[in-house]
Homo-oligomer: A and B are copies of this chain.
Amino acid sequence: MYTSSANVAERQSAPPSLAISTVIFALRPSAKSGRPTLWIPLVRRIREPFKGLWALPGGPLTHAESLQDAASRNLRETTGLAPKYLEQLYAFGGLHRSPTQRVVSIVYWALVQPTEAALADESENVKWFRADRLGDLAFDHNAIVDYALWRLRNKLAYGSVAYHLLGEYFTLAQVREVYEAVLDRELDPANFRRQLKSTPEIEETGEYLQGGKHRPPRLYRFTGRPGLDPDNRSTP
């Protein structure tokens, strides 16, 4: 859909504005099966365009902060979250992303641990949704979430990203559940644990998870470092 030529001229006179948004992932137990599933917090638009629709948390970039700091601050202000894992996703700059003006959005993606996700603000205008049941979002945010999901699945397969969706201590079955939730397929428990046990970044603790219905599983700890972003590279 195209706007009138008057609007186009108007749009071209203003500088393209720069916004920061974030796709936040957390695990929550599914209502049905009780298994963990991926959830995303969204905020309701309280003004045009797309007033009333749900959108990714975001806001403008202020001058005294880096891109990552802006994402962090905005997350805290809108959702109350302070994720341990925060990484740049992509810069979206299509011409018609917003009907009223040209906006370039630098989008981050974040992973929060379940304990923190439970504390997150939830209100009339901030709600969590299952990542696979979002409905129609404002702007191009459906496409952005799709891409973020693709990146998450990709990083999961190679990288060391699953542990940022879990607490400090976890069982190998919990890690497997994360993989199964994100990749949406079942994995053989025995083979999966063999692979994890061969990675040096996963450390066996002496503890066991008590209180379950069956044999108590051993608790593990992740000792690796997150990633290799330009923003995170020099961090020792």
Interface residues of A (CB under 8 A from B): 11-12, 15-16, 18, 61, 63-67, 88, 90-95, 102, 104, 106, 143-144, 147, 150, 228-230, 233
In the assembled complex, 11 residue pairs joining A and B whose CB atoms fall closer than 8 Å, in A order, are A16-B63, A18-B18, A64-B95, A66-B94, A66-B95, A91-B91, A92-B230, A106-B106, A144-B230, A147-B230, A150-B228
Copies, count: 2
User: Which chain B residues lie closer than 8 Å to A230 at the CB level?
Assistant: 90, 92, 143-144, 147
Tell me, rounded to whole Å, the shortest Cβ–Cβ distance linking A65 to chain B: 8
Alpha-carbon gap, A91 to B93, bound state (A): 12
Tell me, rounded to whole Å, the shortest Cβ–Cβ distance linking A209 to chain B: 36
Alpha-carbon gap, A128 to B94, bound state (A): 31
Partner of A106, one of B61, B91, B150: B91
Tell me, rounded to whole Å, the shortest Cβ–Cβ distance linking A106 to chain B: 5
The answer to whether residues A64 and B12 also contact, given A90-B88, A91-B88 and a CB cut-off of 8 A, is yes
Alpha-carbon gap, A67 to B92, bound state (A): 8
Tell me, rounded to whole Å, the shortest Cβ–Cβ distance linking A36 to chain B: 26
Tell me, rounded to whole Å, the shortest Cβ–Cβ distance linking A74 to chain B: 14
From A158, which residue of chain B is reached at the shortest CB distance? B158
Alpha-carbon gap, A143 to B228, bound state (A): 13
Tell me, rounded to whole Å, the shortest Cβ–Cβ distance linking A68 to chain B: 8
Alpha-carbon gap, A95 to B228, bound state (A): 20
The answer to whether residues A93 and B67 also contact, given A16-B18, A147-B230, A228-B150 and a CB cut-off of 8 A, is yes
From A67, which residue of chain B is reached at the shortest CB distance? B93
Tell me, rounded to whole Å, the shortest Cβ–Cβ distance linking A13 to chain B: 9
Tell me, rounded to whole Å, the shortest Cβ–Cβ distance linking A151 to chain B: 10
Alpha-carbon gap, A92 to B233, bound state (A): 13
